[in-house]
Amino acid sequence: MIKKQYNTINDFLEDVSFKNWALQNNGTDINFWEFWIANNPEKNELVNKAKDLVLGVSFNKEVVSKEKVAFEWKKLEAKIQEKTKAPKASKSKVLFLRKFSAAASILLLFSLGFYFLNSNSKITHKTNYGEILNIKLQDGSDVTLNSNSSLSYYKNESRRVWLSGEAFFQVDKKIVTQAKFWVITKDLSVEVYGTSFNVSTKQEKTAVFLEEGNIWLKLKNGADKKMIPGNYISYSAEENKILEDKNIFNPIIKTSWKDGSLLFENLSLEKAMEKIEESYGYSIVFKDDNSKDILITGAVPITNINICIKAIEKSAGVLIVKKENRLIISKK
């Protein structure tokens, strides 16, 4: 955040953390900028101009519905197919190609597998409870690995990674290779057209949240699923079904962990403690059932259990005792 010099209005406009401050979006950025502004009074006028430009005019966007877009696409698709000559012949060709490419890709996978077994070492990054790791892959992509997770890939093939646990991916925008980026979990694989998304296998499912760009999910059962920004989908191969498919309007809730904090927004203490359990590896014991339903809102750190406990105690008005590898929660 602080690397840059802010001399012209564009320096501010191009800065993400500045935008976050102007829109009052992110606590850390707000603190940073309040401090910065207090210490750079000579830049006040520029700051105000830039802030005005960021805020601008707020519109109530009246956007066509998803159903309408889907309908219009069907219409267009029909027209395109109509225009394509000899549709029947080409269809069977496509089918054949599909089968062929499936067979070919299996073959390729096998041969790649052999190839890599022989000549290519596997790299694995692992995190413990209460630990977050930033990894830069060879192709420039950034991965933030959440606690108690592991990410592996073959040395020569860092655009195909295996994940168990949770990670946030940002595929570097400077790389213009045609190769797609793949994330493979026990339930599905994510085929990446676009760039930033979160994948979690922490429960008996794989949950994917797409922040930006476009991605395709290939589920274990063979189905394809396209995602657009804001989509959150979870799928379990064992149950062979999609468990959740919704839109999340506040992406920070799903990705805040990578900045070292868990955000809760009107979440029951029970659910919140599940997250704590995932991050720190403590098992949770509730002494009374009433406490489970207390709603909490706020942020707790992901790498410091003591501060985390204190924050939850304060926010929920309960008492939490750490005993061996258990957190025992009781009324005050």
Partner 1 sequence: MEKLTDKFLWKALKEGDLNAFSVLFESYYPDLHSYGLKISKNTALTEDTLQDFFLYVFEHRENLSDLDSIAPYLFTSYRRFLLKVMKKNNKLTHTDFSEDTFVDLQFTAEEIMTEQETTIFKNKNLSILLNKLPSRQKEAIYLKYYSGLKASEISEIMGINYQSVVNTLHKAIKSLKEEISIIKLFKL
Residues forming the site for partner 1 (CB under 8 A): 9-10, 13, 22-24, 49, 52-53, 55-64, 69-70, 72-73, 75-77, 79-80, 83, 170-173, 175-176, 178, 193-196, 212-214, 216, 226, 228
Task: Name 222's Cβ contacts closer than 8 Å, sequence gap at least 6.
Answer: none
Closer CB to partner 1, 170 or 268, in the complex = 170
Closer CB to partner 1, 130 or 194, in the complex = 194
What type of residue is 228? I
Angle, CA 237 vertex, CA 234 and CA 238 arms, to 5°: 120
How close are the terminal C-alpha atoms of the chain, in Å? 41
Shortest Å distance, C-beta 254 to partner 1 = 17
Which residue is listed with tokens 């476009």? 214
Closer CB to partner 1, 2 or 176, in the complex = 176
Q: Hey, is 296 helix, strand or coil?
A: strand
Closer CB to partner 1, 107 or 228, in the complex = 228
- Do 269 and 316 meet the contact criterion of CB atoms below 8 Å apart? yes
Beta strand residue intervals within 222-260, DSSP E: 224-227, 231-236, 241-247
Shortest Å distance, C-beta 173 to partner 1 = 5
Q: How do 166-170 and 283-286 pair as beta strands?
A: unpaired
Q: Please, is 174 exposed, middle or buried when counting C-beta atoms within 10 Å of its C-beta (0-12, 13-18, 19+)?
A: exposed
Shortest Å distance, C-beta 331 to partner 1 = 36
Shortest Å distance, C-beta 140 to partner 1 = 11
Task: Name 77's Cβ contacts closer than 8 Å, sequence gap at least 6.
Answer: none
Task: Name 3's Cβ contacts closer than 8 Å, sequence gap at least 6.
Answer: none
Euclidean distance between CA atoms 280 and 130, whole angstroms:
5
Closer CB to partner 1, 204 or 212, in the complex = 212
Which residue is listed with tokens 């009107």? 266
Which helix (H) or strand (E) segment holds residue 329: the answer is strand 326-331
Closer CB to partner 1, 1 or 179, in the complex = 179
Closer CB to partner 1, 2 or 64, in the complex = 64
Shortest Å distance, C-beta 177 to partner 1 = 10
